């Protein structure tokens, strides 16, 4: 979990990644907020990339995230779907490019092997745990998912859904319109 200045700016959503029993799941809520106003309830914040072998979710400014999605897709193509290499190259560009540096977003990217959190400060972090979360509701989703992972028999998709519903009941920037995706 990234807890620095970039994280304080991002109050837009919750994205949660869960791995369990060989299943790889990512969930995002649908709320789009501008200040104290809810502008949209069913936004799509998780995307499949590179022949549907990579899932990516964003927290932060939507236009910035779409720019980063395109750049990550280009990097994945360039590096034959190698997520770690593509993420590191994206983070280097993001940190060093004067225009990209101004983008306010965080990404979670997952493939069958890796879960990565990518930030504009050049961070590419692969958490030790089987869960990762970003966005304003990220700490709540992370805690709920870790508890469910350790203390329930739920599968990965059910853990993600329940953790997101718990988060929606706590975080004002997260709603219960959960979008859930699984790598197959």
pLDDT over threshold 70, residue 119: yes
Higher per-residue confidence, 60 vs 21: 21
The string of pLDDT tens digits covering residues 49-68 is: 999 999 999 988 777 888 88
The pLDDT value recorded for residue 113 is 96
Q: Whole-number mean pLDDT of the chain?
A: 89
User: Closest Cα to residue 113, out of 38, 55, 169?
Assistant: 55
CATH label, 5-178, candidates 3.60.20.10, 3.30.420.40, 3.90.245.10, 1.10.3720.10: 3.60.20.10
Confidence bin at 11 (pLDDT 50/70/90):
low
Tell me if 134 sits within 8 A of 15, measured CB to CB.
yes
**33-47: b (≥16 Cβ within 10 Å) or e:** beeeeeeeeebebbb
How many Å apart are CA 53 and CA 40, to the nearest integer? 28
User: Closest Cα to residue 170, out of 119, 135, 126?
Assistant: 135
User: Closest Cα to residue 136, out of 105, 182, 110?
Assistant: 105
Whether 24 sits among the annotated catalytic residues: the reply is no
Tokens of 40: 């949209």
pLDDT over threshold 50, residue 7: no
Tell me if 106 sits within 8 A of 122, measured CB to CB.
no
Helical segments of the chain, H only:
5-9, 62-78, 83-96, 138-151, 156-168
Which 3 state secondary structure label does DSSP give 43? Answer: coil
Confidence bin at 92 (pLDDT 50/70/90):
confident
pLDDT over threshold 50, residue 5: no
The string of pLDDT tens digits covering residues 153-163 is: 999 999 999 99
How many Å apart are CA 20 and CA 182, to the nearest integer? 11
* Best mean pLDDT range from 4-18, 33-47, 68-82: 68-82
Give the C-alpha distances (Å, rounded to integers) separating 57 from 54, 62, 96, 108, 129: 10, 11, 22, 5, 18
The pLDDT value recorded for residue 106 is 87
Q: Where are the domains of the chain?
A: 5-178
Per annotation, catalytic residue among 13, 24, 115, 174: 13
pLDDT over threshold 50, residue 1: no
The pLDDT value recorded for residue 20 is 97
User: Closest Cα to residue 174, out of 64, 70, 31?
Assistant: 31
For the segment 26-44, the average pLDDT, to the nearest whole number, is 89
Tell me if 181 sits within 8 A of 164, measured CB to CB.
no
What is the pTM (predicted TM-score) of this model?
A: 0.90
The pLDDT value recorded for residue 3 is 44
Confidence bin at 25 (pLDDT 50/70/90):
very high
């Amino acid at each position: 979990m990234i807890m620095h200045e970039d994280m304080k700016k991002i109050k837009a959503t919750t994205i949660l990644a869960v791995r369990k029993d060989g299943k790889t799941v990512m969930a995002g809520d649908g709320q789009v907020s501008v200040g104290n106003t809810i502008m949209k309830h069913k936004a799509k914040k998780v995307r499949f990339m590179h022949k549907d072998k990579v899932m990516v979710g964003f927290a932060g400014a939507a236009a910035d995230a779409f720019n980063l999605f395109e750049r990550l897709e280009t990097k994945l193509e360039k590096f034959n779907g190698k997520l770690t290499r593509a993420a590191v190259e994206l983070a280097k560009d993001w940190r060093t490019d004067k225009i990209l540096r101004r983008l306010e977003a965080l990404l979670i990217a997952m493939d069958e092997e890796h879960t990565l959190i990518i930030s504009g400060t050049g961070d590419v972090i692969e958490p030790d745990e089987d869960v990762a979360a970003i966005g304003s509701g990220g700490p709540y989703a992370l805690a709920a998912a870790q508890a469910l992972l350790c203390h329930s028999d739920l599968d990965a998709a059910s853990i993600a859904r329940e953790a997101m519903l718990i988060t929606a009941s706590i975080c004002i920037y997260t709603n219960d319109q959960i979008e859930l995706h699984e790598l197959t």
